[in-house]
A and B are shown apart, each in its own frame.
Chain A
């Protein structure tokens, strides 16, 4: 195989573009896709104060690296979720990336600062683990962005992530979720602006970016997420993608362009009445926000080792 651009030996084939690339021209393709996402969806300006949610995995380190490469300045935010050695190692990758490049990495530990971890919250609240984890992360991302006066919060969600969520929400016709599944969510009601610059890159492409750029990241899968519904949706979409390259791109990007505008009426209105949470001050519709409810239930619970809930991500809600 030869690179489509320079005819030198290719290192990767990208069937959805019907193209093969050498390392440098693959990186150029990735940069172009991210720039197009940023421009098309009004994500970032060069003078934005950017906070990137960093897990130590390929997507968050790739998006940090790409944004720096494109000339943006960005700090990182790592949340210690307390998922046993998986979290310990993920933190090491995030810290190493930041330290080697002289970047600022803000760290928050669920156990040290809020008295619980994801395994304990799962048992204490009887939630699906990925639900307790996702809710905790979203709250702390928002809080760190607001408290730190960042103008935009960046996450490393890629095309596969977005297509899988879209697939799941479509199978159940979850119109409210569909209406707000957008690559850019503007700041509103005390929540920060949130953007996903990797939505035009597949998971295989963000991993390839890291390999070519020599970025060490945590390859191992979260032990709790193994077998969850989200991964099943990704498998199903990749089976279709192999037979019909470009399907994931068309499914997601055509949804954003053609369908999401039709669903706007189902989204939570901007003028919905929110009040400050009695405990933490974050905007909420009730007296106490969902995060503070979770903390209240989890913080007094005896710590639960991750081994007790491994594979629970597969359990249905």
Chain B
């Protein structure tokens, strides 16, 4: 599957299928600080992502005070 990451913006090709929580763990990303979006729709952590899916892993942390 194609995975879009931010900060910095980059794209990865990951072998699928893979569940959302496993994908985040593989990429060492904390579930508290990211959302996973497929075709403009949020997907929960136990959702299985297909090999041909395009997903965005969006960081949600901002640094201002």
Name A's B-contacting residues (CB within 8 A). Answer: 1, 10-13, 15, 20, 23, 55, 57-59, 130, 133-134, 160-161, 164-165, 202-204, 206-208, 211-212, 219-222, 225-226, 228, 230-231, 234-235, 238-239, 241-242, 313
Is the pair A134, B64 in contact by a Cβ cutoff of 8 Å?
yes
Is the pair A55, B64 in contact by a Cβ cutoff of 8 Å?
yes
Instruction: Point out the residue from A23, A59, A242 that lies within 8 Å of B30, measured CB to CB.
Output: A242
Is the pair B30, A238 in contact by a Cβ cutoff of 8 Å?
yes
Given contacts A219-B6, A220-B6, contact A58 B32 (CB under 8 A): no
On chain B, the residues within 8 Å of A203 by CB distance are 33, 60-62
Name B's A-contacting residues (CB within 8 A). Answer: 6-7, 9, 30-35, 37, 40-47, 58-65
A161 CB, nearest partner CB in chain B, Å: 7
On chain B, the residues within 8 Å of A207 by CB distance are 35, 58, 60
Is the pair A20, B63 in contact by a Cβ cutoff of 8 Å?
no
Q: How far is the CA of A241 from the CA of B31 in the complex (A)?
A: 10
Instruction: Point out the residue from B31, B47, B63 that lies within 8 Å of A221, measured CB to CB.
Output: B63
Is the pair A238, B32 in contact by a Cβ cutoff of 8 Å?
yes
On chain B, the residues within 8 Å of A12 by CB distance are 35, 42, 44
On chain B, the residues within 8 Å of A219 by CB distance are 6, 58-59
Q: How far is the CA of A57 from the CA of B59 in the complex (A)?
A: 12
A-B contact pairs, 21 of them (CB 8 A): A12-B35, A13-B45, A23-B42, A134-B64, A161-B65, A202-B32, A204-B33, A204-B34, A211-B35, A211-B58, A220-B7, A221-B7, A221-B61, A221-B62, A225-B62, A230-B63, A230-B65, A231-B61, A231-B63, A235-B61, A242-B32
On chain A, the residues within 8 Å of B32 by CB distance are 202, 204, 238, 241-242
Q: How far is the CA of A10 from the CA of B20 in the complex (A)?
A: 13
What DSSP secondary structure best describes chain B's contact surface?
Answer: loop
A194 CB, nearest partner CB in chain B, Å: 14
Instruction: Point out the residue from B9, B44, B65 that lies within 8 Å of A165, measured CB to CB.
Output: B65
Write the chain B residue with the least CB distance to A161.
B65
Write the chain A residue with the least CB distance to B58.
A219
On chain B, the residues within 8 Å of A241 by CB distance are 32
> Top 5 A-B pairs ranked by shortest CB distance?
A225-B63, A207-B60, A238-B32, A11-B42, A1-B44
Q: How far is the CA of A160 from the CA of B46 in the complex (A)?
A: 24
Q: How far is the CA of A11 from the CA of B33 in the complex (A)?
A: 16
Is the pair B61, A234 in contact by a Cβ cutoff of 8 Å?
yes
Q: How far is the CA of A160 from the CA of B59 in the complex (A)?
A: 13
On chain A, the residues within 8 Å of B60 by CB distance are 58, 203-204, 206-207
A17 CB, nearest partner CB in chain B, Å: 13
A-B contact sample (19 more), CB < 8 A, given A12-B42, A221-B59:
A1-B44, A1-B46, A10-B44, A11-B41, A12-B44, A15-B31, A23-B42, A130-B63, A134-B64, A161-B64, A161-B65, A165-B65, A206-B60, A207-B35, A211-B40, A219-B6, A226-B7, A231-B61, A238-B30
Q: How far is the CA of A59 from the CA of B35 in the complex (A)?
A: 15
On chain B, the residues within 8 Å of A59 by CB distance are 62
Is the pair A130, B33 in contact by a Cβ cutoff of 8 Å?
no
Is the pair A313, B63 in contact by a Cβ cutoff of 8 Å?
yes
B3 CB, nearest partner CB in chain A, Å: 15
Instruction: Point out the residue from B7, B34, B43, B65 that lies within 8 Å of A11, measured CB to CB.
Output: B43
On chain A, the residues within 8 Å of B6 by CB distance are 219-220
A122 CB, nearest partner CB in chain B, Å: 15
On chain A, the residues within 8 Å of B40 by CB distance are 211
